[in-house]
């Protein structure tokens, strides 16, 4: 079986990108150790605990692994980028979280691909999405899907960076693809556009200091967001796309044909979000990545976004949030009220 065969089967499973990498350690594992040691993982313990060592070698996940089938699934939809969107009363949710949770969709596609491969040859295998301890961008690069840009996203020359990654570790020996050249050139637009200066020099080019990244601050961080960073969050209530929005390779990025990725709630009103009860929050975002931030974490983000909009109409919602039973929500709402003065 060849890499070309793999691509044909992957396309049958609705993956736009596919390639093959050898199931062996990659040079970036040393960079990852440095990244963790520098504290850039923040409070994401799952990236720095014992599972960090598992990332050293994919055969820690499947001892019989000989090849890694890497796939990419587009999720771009025909909606404006955050950098071209002006809605002062509206909240911004990262593009990847607009529709159904990608973990389920990518996993289903990989299960189909796994079944097709097994029809051709007996093998051992393991399906991985981004929850598995695997340096997936590095293997996707090795498989020819794209290069790793200065914003640390994998960029494909034809498709840009709006795609999810998934992997299928297999015991088959398949001739691997080759990584493409880095085509960022001298461009530093993502670095200059980051409101919190989260893209910093690293061991191999540039990396992300998660502790300053809006995605980390609005999704992964529990409790209080550092006050000096709150204003830079703007209207973001879940994640951030700015470093991808300004990337020249995304100017003509293709659109997905996957209906599950179409927005359920595009740029919802901040007032509506601030009024949500916990059950309403769960119902509104059920089956989407937004639930990862949890109810009170989401309200904390809404309070920050309303404060940054500086609109008098947000005074009443902020006063209500300031009476929240959650200390972080209440504290951020009180801070927001000060911003309105």
Instruction: Report residue 313 CA to chain centroid gap.
Output: 32
* Among 260, 250, 309, 290, residue whose Cα is nearest residue 80: 250
Identify the three-state secondary structure at position 269. Answer: strand
Q: How far apart are CA 335 and CA 227, in angstroms?
A: 9
Q: How far apart are CA 134 and CA 24, in angstroms?
A: 11
Residue 98 exposed, middle or buried by CB count within 10 Å (0-12, 13-18, 19+) = buried
* Among 67, 49, 89, 75, residue whose Cα is nearest residue 1: 67
Instruction: Report residue 48 CA to chain centroid gap.
Output: 18
* Residue indicated by tokens 């071209």: 84
Q: How far apart are CA 290 and CA 251, in angstroms?
A: 26
User: Which secondary structure element, helix H or strand E, spans residue 206, and what is its range?
Assistant: strand 205-208
* Token reading at 67: 């090849």
- Among the listed residues 130, 177, 182, 241, the single catalytic one is 130
Sheet holding 17-22, edge to edge: 17-22, 67-74, 163-170, 125-128
Per-position DSSP letters for 178-200, written without gaps between them:
-PPPP--TT--HHHHH-TT--EE
Active-site residue 130, yes or no?
Answer: yes
Radius of gyration of the chain (CA): 21
Q: How far apart are CA 3 and CA 256, in angstroms?
A: 23
**Other CB atoms within 10 Å distance of the CB of residue 201:** 8
Active site residues: 130
């Amino acid at each position: 079986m060849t890499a070309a065969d793999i691509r044909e089967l992957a396309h049958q499973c609705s993956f736009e990108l596919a390639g093959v990498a050898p199931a062996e350690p990659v040079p970036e594992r040393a960079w990852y150790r440095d990244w963790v040691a520098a504290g850039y993982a923040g409070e994401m313990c799952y990236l720095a605990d014992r599972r960090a060592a598992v990332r050293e070698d994919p055969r820690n996940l499947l001892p019989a692994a000989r090849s890694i089938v890497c796939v990419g699934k587009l999720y771009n939809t025909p909606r404006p980028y955050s950098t071209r969107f002006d809605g002062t009363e509206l909240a911004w949710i990262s593009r990847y979280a607009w529709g159904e949770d990608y973990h389920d969709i990518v996993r289903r596609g990989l299960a189909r691909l796994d079944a097709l491969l097994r029809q051709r040859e007996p093998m051992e295998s393991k399906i991985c999405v981004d929850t598995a301890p695997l340096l997936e961008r590095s293997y996707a690069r090795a498989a020819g899907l794209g290069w790793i840009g200065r914003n640390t996203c994998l960029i494909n020359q034809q498709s840009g960076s709006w795609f999810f990654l998934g992997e299928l570790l297999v015991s088959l020996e398949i001739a691997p693809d080759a990584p493409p050249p880095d085509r960022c050139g001298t461009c530093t637009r993502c670095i200059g556009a980051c409101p919190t200066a989260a893209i910093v020099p690293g061991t191999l080019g540039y990396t992300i200091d998660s502790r300053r990244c809006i995605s980390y601050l609005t999704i992964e961080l529990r409790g209080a967001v550092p006050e000096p960073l709150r204003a830079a969050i703007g209207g973001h209530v879940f994640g951030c796309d700015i470093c991808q929005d300004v990337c020249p390779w995304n100017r003509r990025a293709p659109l997905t044909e996957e209906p599950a990725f179409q927005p359920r709630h595009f740029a919802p009103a901040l007032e509506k979000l601030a009024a949500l009860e916990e059950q309403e929050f769960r119902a509104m975002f059920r089956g989407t990545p937004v639930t990862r931030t949890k109810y009170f974490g989401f309200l904390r983000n809404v309070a920050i976004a309303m404060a940054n909009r500086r609109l008098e109409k947000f005074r009443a919602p902020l006063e209500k949030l300031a009476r929240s039973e959650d200390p972080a929500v209440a504290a951020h709402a009180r801070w927001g009220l000060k911003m309105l003065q």
